[in-house]
Structure 1
């Protein structure tokens, strides 16, 4: 916000107002988009009933506070009048009211937590499904919105959103009802004030309104930067945690490189963002706490100061003074809900912004899920047909242009070419992962395609489940899985079939690639795409495993990306990436077929 005298002209400030209003409208629309689906879902009846009970309990707490306020009048009057019988009778009444208050307060929290976990579970399942559908978890990296750390948005932001929304909403409802109830009481307890020969009733009520309004204005003015700072803090914390996980998952190569110093510097740099932003939050929170703490302390004495003239004049007794002060504090507290909740509102706003940004990114991916090759059913005698295919990078640079490739059922084709020419990108586009592709891809509507990357994915699961991934191991049986492992040179692992481990950290690169071949033989797909799937193996092992593929999967169409010429013997023909202009600094490639 510009300092006075340094900002733009007044006309420019007026032009900015609609954009601020539009921002608020967009925020409310995003908030409604986040909230509405659950309350229109199959859980709306049970959760609606639960919410109604919770709101009813909130109203019950307000009613009990009204009874406590009446009790204050009677109790302090009994003290002033030294009425011992009335004193003990009111003690008994207090015990009953306190017991009722405790029961309602306990079950309100319990039921609110019940609603919270139901809502969180539903939202988490919904967002996790959206994230995993149509390979959005992969394609999210191409989102222009830059929805960072989706794991944090699903695991933490959803929980924070639900908890903060329920807490703030119920607190707001309770404050509104409390304001209405105690405003009537405070109006009746107030005297008149004289302003310019005008008698104005409800002096205490007007004092509470002015006091809370002044406090709310200053709180928003002082605390407004916290919204952006909390948004950034959540992002920096997630970035730091993500890099810690990367170090843990890549512990072996980091250790072999001796990269501890580099990783320490990287982690330190990430954590510096966390600390720097935290200091900014601390400074802003300190300013807000200076005001809010002083405001809260002044609120204790302010009603006594305003009501003291009526007490000392004899217009009200001690009980009336205490009841007035209590009612004033309830009204002032209700009107000051915005002040007390400002920090949580800032955190909630940041959470909503992160979730809506994530939702918008997923929605854009859903709208663009058909980006890439235009897909059509393959005709008879075709296992794959690619026509007029072009590949580009996200920055617009073209990798491959006007490519055509036709593969017959059961045919084995090897794709070769220099590193970085776009071979793996072609596989990503065939698999539906690469949106920067044009052309037509024809695949059979029936049958299964399996992609075997250079580093196969090994889930943290039993070895049997790892080999059968993504199918269930029960589909094939332990004996069949053990036989395939033996054929692929992994017989020494059969005793571990039932053990759940982090296999990608326990198996060598060569063992992982052997396991990938075992998976391909076990699943027996109709179309198998191998992307440098044997690069970590020696020549003899590579020939052994490819020979096993040819022998065990005679009807499977195999398309392989490989650099070793010896693999051509296992394929019917070779297709090469050839530059259209070999002299170009960044050549564009075409496909050129040749006999194996």
Structure 2
């Protein structure tokens, strides 16, 4: 079977500093473009309603904090004055304030989680539609334009929506808190006067300016220290996903690994991939340690900073104990609001890394869509239906086949260059061919010559090359060498891509009997991973049973009997010919057993020197009657 280079993503060498810098970019415009669509979608009314409710609850919590700030002043004044009656009343007042705070906090968290899931549900549906639409999932794998799309759909989307809401609500809370408390701090702190160069200087609301200066310096230091964490978090997600993929791959191929006694090799491979995780984690630890040092020092000093600054006024008798505690509380609220960036930096780093991975994934899907929709994009292979409904021929005109050689995407400052095109390696010289109804073609040639690539081009999923393919309005079915069996009941696996209920149980049982799989009839309702439970030969016979259900007008078999013995292989082809006498059959195969069921031949031969043409192709196609 001809094939293109493997599309499995494995960790490469350590990411260079330039790549780490690239992955650490903020890409604010692209991030906003990722956020905006949901709030304009069909679900925007419900989303905006929940958002307004969460915002209102946040505002309620800020108001509770304002009440607590005032309560601080009165409470500590009562303690200073030893007013036991007021002390008891204030404790009762604190109880209902605290109860309101708890209720608001619980409902805010509940509705924020509800909004997060609605947003994630919409984004997951949108990304899945784009990933599966235009067969982007297939094209991305061919060009290696992005790694581990499963991890981006499952983990990065969750982290993105969770982080976006958490950070935005935190920022809103900080802004409202700042607006609510900056006036209080300005009034209660009062002015400070001092001599500077013989001049009497007075600063009104001096605690506000101290809070602003403290937060600005802390934010700048935190960003300087922590920015590399964005790129390192990006890489950590990639390495974790690669390691998880290799574990799943080992589980799915447990039998051949066991037969080869390949455990030492697999262990070495897994350890090498985990070593990437460990090495990157060490860098994350170093930068996280620095950021934690900054955040912890910043937060701890902020506890005593307002007391140190306000203490002179208290000890001079210009402030009461309640006033001092109110200043301390108000300063903490203002400084905390201004320190949103510092306090949220670790969360912001993880969220931005997830956003950058989603941006790359989205751009890769955009390129794949363009390849599918735009003639002359990735290639010039045009697949179009015949204008004549009565036409039952597949017409191939000047078809040249090529392979993509691009390893990744070219990026500009906002992501993927929308004009970037994958480079192509010419493979097969242009040829023309007409496949008529009821004809049976055998395609053979050296391994790697492009036989399977031809089938992919006929299926409309291979854009690399040039030429035109006109297809009839008929039922077409492709059976690859390794058939796909979804996890589910055996009926689902047999009926794919239809649901297991699309065909009667009698029909399913009949085709299993015809494909020499009668022993499986009693397992039609058993849920299992049938690609692991059935042998390769059983899987190929199940694919023939699937063809009997589908009853295609054109049947393409890509070494679909390679795991069968010659007698069973002949029986399967005889079954197709007798059961589907009017179907056109095109097979890639090498055995003489298969040749006996075909009357036409398409051969791939190596292009001799001087015959390759200007394109530098490796093979030519020869038709034999």
Same-fold status (TM-score > 0.5): yes
Tell me the residue number matched to 1:165.
Answer: 164
Alignment of 1:561-576 (within 5 A): 561-576=588-603
| Aligned-partner Cα distance in 1 for 2:45–2:140 | 34
| Aligned-partner Cα distance in 1 for 2:77–2:275 | 60
CA contact (8 A) 2:429 2:617 kept: no
| Aligned-partner Cα distance in 2 for 1:542–1:155 | 41
| Aligned-partner Cα distance in 2 for 1:291–1:108 | 30
Tell me the residue number matched to 1:392.
Answer: 402
Deviations 1:468-508 (A, max 9, x none): 11112322201111011111110011110110111111111
CA contact (8 A) 1:467 1:519 kept: yes
Aligned residues: CA RMSD: 1.8
Show structure 2 runs of 5+ residues with no match: 1-20, 374-378, 406-423
| Aligned-partner Cα distance in 1 for 2:36–2:570 | 58
2:518 matches 1:519: no
| Aligned-partner Cα distance in 2 for 1:534–1:582 | 35
Tell me the residue number matched to 2:90.
Answer: 90
Tell me the residue number matched to 1:362.
Answer: 365
Q: Residue 32 of structure 1: CA displacement?
A: 1.8
| Aligned-partner Cα distance in 1 for 2:223–2:557 | 59
Deviations 1:155-201 (A, max 9, x none): 01001000000000000010011011111000001132235312111
Match of 1:480 among 507, 523, 537: 507
CA contact (8 A) 2:75 2:87 kept: yes
Tell me the residue number matched to 2:414.
Answer: none
Tell me the residue number matched to 1:9.
Answer: none
Tell me the residue number matched to 2:57.
Answer: 57
Alignment of 1:333-348 (within 5 A): 333-348=336-351
Alignment of 1:182-193 (within 5 A): 182-193=181-192
Match of 2:383 among 372, 375, 384: 375
Deviations 1:94-135 (A, max 9, x none): 001001000000000000000000100110011011111111
Deviations 1:294-323 (A, max 9, x none): 111111111111111111111111000000
2:622 matches 1:592: yes
Tell me the residue number matched to 2:131.
Answer: 131
CA contact (8 A) 1:527 1:557 kept: yes
Aligned residues: 572
CA contact (8 A) 1:372 1:429 kept: no
User: 3-state DSSP class of the match of 2:372?
Assistant: coil
2:458 matches 1:430: yes
Tell me the residue number matched to 2:527.
Answer: 500
| Aligned-partner Cα distance in 1 for 2:277–2:317 | 59
Against the structure 1 CA distance between its residues 372 and 478, is the aligned structure 2 distance closer, same or farther, given a 3 Å change threshold? Answer: farther
| Aligned-partner Cα distance in 2 for 1:274–1:282 | 12
CA contact (8 A) 1:30 1:356 kept: yes
Q: Residue 587 of structure 1: CA displacement?
A: 6.7
Deviations 1:273-311 (A, max 9, x none): 111111101111111111211111111111111111111
Q: Residue 589 of structure 1: CA displacement?
A: 1.7
2:274 matches 1:271: yes
Report which stretch shifted further, 169-178 or 187-196.
187-196
| Aligned-partner Cα distance in 2 for 1:363–1:582 | 40
**Bigger proportion of residues as helix:** 1
Query: Larger RCO: Structure 1 or Structure 2 (Cα < 8 Å, ≥ 6 residues apart)?
Result: 2
Tell me the residue number matched to 1:7.
Answer: none
| Aligned-partner Cα distance in 1 for 2:556–2:106 | 59
Report which stretch shifted further, 243-252 or 575-584.
575-584
Q: Residue 565 of structure 1: CA displacement?
A: 2.1
Q: Residue 338 of structure 1: CA displacement?
A: 0.7
| Aligned-partner Cα distance in 2 for 1:181–1:171 | 15
| Aligned-partner Cα distance in 2 for 1:29–1:583 | 52
| Aligned-partner Cα distance in 2 for 1:372–1:269 | 41
User: 3-state DSSP class of the match of 1:457?
Assistant: coil
Q: Residue 572 of structure 1: CA displacement?
A: 2.2
| Aligned-partner Cα distance in 2 for 1:59–1:362 | 40
Q: Residue 590 of structure 1: CA displacement?
A: 1.8
CA contact (8 A) 1:299 1:329 kept: yes
2:110 matches 1:110: yes
Q: Residue 583 of structure 1: CA displacement?
A: 10
| Aligned-partner Cα distance in 1 for 2:536–2:103 | 61
